[in-house]
Amino acid sequence: MMCFDKTGTLTEDGLDILGARPVYIDKKKKFTFSKLQTDFSTLAPEISTNTRQLENKRYDKMFNNTSTGLPSEQLFDALMCCHSLTKVNGNLIGDTLDIKMFNATGAILDESESTDNGAHIIASITTPKFSNRTIGIVRKFEFASKLQRMSVVTKVIGDPIYRMFIKGSPEKIREMCNEKTIPGNFHKILQKYTENGYRVLALGAKLLDIEYK
């Protein structure tokens, strides 16, 4: 879940990022929201390796070894990939929220088209500060106000697995998620931020079990 703080309501046009709250599995094997994370580098893969290994075993066991990373890592990837940004003369163009989220990850967008194991890649994203992976964007489904969400189909270059990331209103994303992955404190956390005037977005991820072409 992402939280945004509207600043300078009457004097400025823009938003600042308050932070993100990834989910994790507690000792009772229940999903819950973590503390607010203001440094997105802590979400990135290949950070805190020992912690990752312990958490990954528990996470994979719950999903029959079909997971593709910790929830925090998937949140980081969603922040990098789930947007409609483009580049014009080297500058990012698009929704202010998308630009803020993307820049917070330190990612680099390359809109050169390519192929990977037969998949047509329309853009690729890297985060040289945190990982040597490159994530390819296979397809984008633009934001639709009626649906209250947008999504992208992605794959790590060199990896056969496809993932879909989705972003939208917390209520709508909750409806679409596997019920057992919904944090028990979902409504409490959402109410906390909305009552304090924050704009809140939710992000989710799904492993695609079919070959996308």
Question: Which residues does the annotation mark as catalytic?
Answer: 5
Contact at 8 Å (CB) between 96 and 84? no
Listed in sequence order, the residues at least 6 apart from 49 whose beta carbon sits closer than 8 Å to its beta carbon are none
d(CA 21, CA 189): 9
d(CA 34, CA 45): 17
Q: What b/e sequence results for 174-201 when a residue is b if at least 16 CB atoms lie within 10 Å of its CB, and e otherwise?
A: beebeeeebbeebeebbeebeeeebebb
CA distances from 18 to 29, 107, 110, 139, 171 (A): 28, 19, 27, 29, 20
Residues in the chain: 213
Q: Which helix (H) or strand (E) holds 53?
A: helix 49-62
Contact at 8 Å (CB) between 101 and 112? no
